[in-house]
Chain A
Amino acid sequence: MNDEQRPSRMARWRAGALAGIVVLGLASIVGSGGGGCFAPGPCVGDFPNEPIAPVVTPTDVVVEVGGTATFSAIAQGIGNPSYQWLRAPKGGTLAPISGATASTYSLTGANLTDDGSTIAVDVAGSFEGKAVQRRSAGSTLAVSSMLPVVFQDREFAPADWAAAAIVEPLVGGPTHDEQQARTGGNPDAYRRVALSMPGGVSTLTAFSTYQSASYDPASQGAIYLIDFAQDCIALPGVLGVAPVLLVEQDGRRYAAAAGAGACTAVWGRQTLIRGTFDATQFIRIDGAACAAGASCPDFSAFGKPLKFGIVNFNQGVAGFAGASGGFGIDNWVVRVWRR
């Protein structure tokens, strides 16, 4: 390197270093506050004396071709609300839907061009005497070319379900007990899972798998989405429980990466857990690691047969005093959608 090149290279280094310092400096200012919310949309607490954005339920919907998808808006404290529903085709931008100005919106006669659409709502009204308008986050609509394959249970006969668990430590560790409770469900029989955690460090992963049927992609078709719902109730006790969808395939178990949160002390609509998942939204929790590049779980037409169920995870940390509790599930339903 000659003398002419050395200063030029040093100058470029300085310029790059200065640019990085400026970016880091600004980011560290903004990153030191913000209330801990990193969402691109409005967050609770953004404006304590203002309403937060309206909510559209459900957040994900799958229907068959020709079916009807219904969305509901929750105005979140906005007075005298008026609504304007919006729709964006897959990859497009939101545009108002003519005449869609009620608190609910139903898309009838869904077709494959509606697949991947985003549905949102603008809510205008008043809050503390001021006129406000807020937009909801988008809900996603998926359309399948055929009716789903449905797995459901409302009775939970012992022969229809298998229980298993991963327990640490094995000696003196957590315990679990699964059985059919004939009364006390929503409305009658339900599956009752009682759990107990000792004091100190321990983990309990409790599985319940529906045995009466399985889904075979090779013969029934590749899976597009899985639609899951159940009613849940927390049993007496202080142990927090939040059972999520379980998928078993080829000796491995996978848990849905998202659920609806913890069960509460009552049955009912507020404890209904619903989700719509594709293969990328599952986490392997038991079984051998998948081969590099393999799809796990495999929802393609080459995938092995799948069984479904529920899984709940509890963990005790150092200083934990121990607790018992559990949960019940009823009206369990899994819908397997194909393209």
Chain B
Amino acid sequence: MPGHAHAGSLREQNRQAMSPLHRCGLLAAIAVGALSIGTLVYLFDRVPGHALLIPRLDSFAGAPFFGALGAWLPSFVHPFSFALLTAAALPAASAWRYHGCAAWGAVNLAFELGQHPALKGWWLESVAGDALPIVRWFARYFLHGTFDVVDLVVVIAGAAAAAAMLRWVGRHQEHPHER
């Protein structure tokens, strides 16, 4: 009988469903975990004190852990993690979850393109003279960075991976009327 079959199928779906809170927590946990790995790249593999907001821990430096992977891992982690965090803060059924993946991908692409040598002169003028401190900080980021086409590809991969993760989580979430 169709009604009984439908009810059994629905009960089965409810047993497998993920509550909104679990969805939010899962996404945030994955994002924080990925960010932690990205932070470790700066602590172990990068020059101590190279980054503004990551403390200089000389006892960690000089012991490269990630190797060649460490060169691109942060470019993947950043759009991936922040896209998931954004989705965690949005309603489960919101289309803006996937827009967030695209947005963080675009932001990271812009910051990578800003390191292109053709723009160095512009950033130099921003750092010199009387530019506002926040302008200097952004300009200094671009001046000290190195443009790499591979980073562009990795950024896109990170954003795409976030979208794939959202799709996977979306298959297990409750259907009803969470808004």
**Chain A residues at the B interface, C-beta cutoff of 8 Å:** 7, 14, 17-18, 21, 24-38, 40-43, 45-47, 50, 53, 132-135
**CB nearest neighbor in B for A15:** B89
10 contacts between A and B (CB under 8 A): A21-B82, A21-B85, A29-B108, A30-B52, A31-B51, A34-B51, A35-B143, A36-B50, A47-B143, A134-B129
Residues of B within 8 A of A45 (CB): 144
Contact with A along B79-92 (1 / 0, CB 8 A): 00010011001110
Distance to closest chain A CB from B14 (angstroms)? 23
CA distance A21 to B84 in the complex (A): 10
Per a CB cutoff under 8 Å, which of B89, B129, B145 touches A135? B129
Do A18 and B89 form a contact, CB below 8 Å, given A26-B107, A29-B107?
yes
CA distance A25 to B89 in the complex (A): 14
Say if the beta carbon of B42 comes within 8 Å of chain A: yes
**Chain B residues at the A interface, C-beta cutoff of 8 Å:** 35, 42, 49-54, 56, 74, 78, 82, 85-86, 89-91, 104, 107-108, 111, 124, 127-130, 133, 136-138, 140-141, 143-145, 179
CA distance A76 to B111 in the complex (A): 31
Does the CB pair A46–B107 fall under 8 Å? no
CA distance A120 to B144 in the complex (A): 27
Q: Counting chain B CB atoms within 10 Å of each CB, which of A7, A17, A29, A32 scores highest?
A: A32
Per a CB cutoff under 8 Å, which of B78, B127, B137 touches A28? B78
Do A25 and B138 form a contact, CB below 8 Å, given A32-B51, A33-B145, A36-B50?
no
Residues of B within 8 A of A31 (CB): 51-54
Residues of B within 8 A of A21 (CB): 82, 85-86, 89
Does the CB pair B144–A35 fall under 8 Å? yes
CA distance A36 to B51 in the complex (A): 5
CA distance A14 to B140 in the complex (A): 32
CA distance A14 to B141 in the complex (A): 30
Does the CB pair A14–B50 fall under 8 Å? no
CA distance A18 to B74 in the complex (A): 21
CA distance A14 to B49 in the complex (A): 34
Do A35 and B140 form a contact, CB below 8 Å, given A29-B107, A46-B127, A47-B124?
yes
Per a CB cutoff under 8 Å, which of A29, A53, A133 touches B78? A29
Do A32 and B42 form a contact, CB below 8 Å, given A46-B140, A47-B143, A50-B128?
yes
Residues of A within 8 A of B138 (CB): 30
Q: Which 5 A-B pairs have the closest CB atoms?
A: A31-B53, A40-B133, A36-B49, A17-B89, A35-B144
Residues of B within 8 A of A134 (CB): 128-129
Residues of B within 8 A of A7 (CB): 179
Residues of B within 8 A of A34 (CB): 51-52, 137, 140-141, 144
Does the CB pair B141–A33 fall under 8 Å? yes
CA distance A46 to B131 in the complex (A): 14
Residues of A within 8 A of B52 (CB): 30-34, 36-38
Distance to closest chain B CB from A50 (angstroms)? 6
Does the CB pair B127–A27 fall under 8 Å? no
Residues of B within 8 A of A17 (CB): 89
Distance to closest chain B CB from A233 (angstroms)? 28
CA distance A43 to B127 in the complex (A): 9
Do A18 and B54 form a contact, CB below 8 Å, given A32-B42, A33-B145, A35-B140?
no
Residues of B within 8 A of A37 (CB): 52, 140
CA distance A132 to B52 in the complex (A): 27
Residues of B within 8 A of A14 (CB): 89-91
CA distance A134 to B124 in the complex (A): 12
Distance to closest chain B CB from A291 (angstroms)? 33
Distance to closest chain A CB from B58 (angstroms)? 11
Per a CB cutoff under 8 Å, which of A28, A33, A42, A46 touches B50? A33
Residues of B within 8 A of A35 (CB): 50, 140, 143-144
CA distance A29 to B82 in the complex (A): 11
**Given A25-B78, A36-B56, A42-B136, 18 more pairs with CB closer than 8 A:** A21-B85, A25-B107, A30-B52, A32-B52, A33-B51, A33-B144, A34-B51, A34-B52, A34-B140, A35-B50, A37-B52, A38-B52, A41-B136, A46-B127, A46-B128, A46-B143, A47-B124, A50-B124
Does the CB pair A30–B143 fall under 8 Å? no
CA distance A32 to B35 in the complex (A): 12
Distance to closest chain B CB from A60 (angstroms)? 22
